[in-house]
Amino acid sequence: MSIVSEFKEFAVKGNAMDLAVGVIIGAAFGKIVDSIVKDLIMPIVGAVFGGFDFSNLFVALGTVPEGAAMTLDGLREADVPVFAYGNFITILINFIILAFIVFIIVKQINRLKRLKKEAPPAPVATPEDVVLLREIRDSLKKQ
């Protein structure tokens, strides 16, 4: 079997397609969670801590050139090494939220699988001799 035909067989199998769909949906879901963290959660957390912006918490590790803006973006544009711990905090919160959501989804899927397994078994068929005896009883009652 050639490599091309093996790759075609792999690519059209359900598992590879499921993985591709999962990666695409995961990337889109990651953007949604990123927006939730940046646009909704972090402003509230910043307001609670006195109007503080976590994304601009940093320590410059090099000399800052004259005229460079003392913001994270300004220092990065000036090629100054920066220890951006505020950005790390934001990404950490993002990860925690995403991990919690995935945990809830997996937990619900497992719960649904358990419910499916715990379905009552199909009724057991009545043995043939019992059915025959019932027929005899019913025919005797008619006489």
What are the tens digits of pLDDT across the range 75-104?
Answer: 888 888 888 888 888 788 878 887 888 788
Q: What is the CATH number of domain 3-142?
A: 1.10.1200.120
The residue-averaged pLDDT of 40-55 equals 76
Q: Rounded to whole angstroms, what are the CA distances from 12 to 8, 24, 80, 84?
A: 6, 17, 48, 43
Residue extents of the structural domains in the chain: 3-142
Q: What is the DSSP letter of 122?
A: P
The residue-averaged pLDDT of 121-128 equals 82
* Residue 19 in this model has a pLDDT that exceeds 80: no
Residue appearing with tokens 């019992």: 130
Question: Is 0.75 topped by the overall pTM?
Answer: no
* Residue 62 in this model has a pLDDT that exceeds 70: yes
Q: Rounded to whole angstroms, what are the CA distances from 39 to 12, 42, 57, 90, 95?
A: 39, 7, 17, 11, 15
CA–CA separation, 108 and 29 (whole Å): 18
Q: Could you give the count of Cα atoms lying within 13 Å of 86 in the half-sphere of its Cβ?
A: 17
Residue 119: pLDDT band with limits 50, 70, 90? low
The residue-averaged pLDDT of 114-129 equals 78
Q: Which amino acid is at 129?
A: D
Task: Name the residue among 29, 9, 25 with its Cα closest to residue 95.
Answer: 29
The residue-averaged pLDDT of 10-38 equals 78
* Residue 116 in this model has a pLDDT that exceeds 80: no
Which stretch of DSSP H or E encloses residue 60?
A: strand 59-60
Instruction: Check residue 1 and give its pLDDT.
Output: 65
Tokens read off for 87: 């950005």
Q: What is the mean pLDDT of the chain?
A: 81
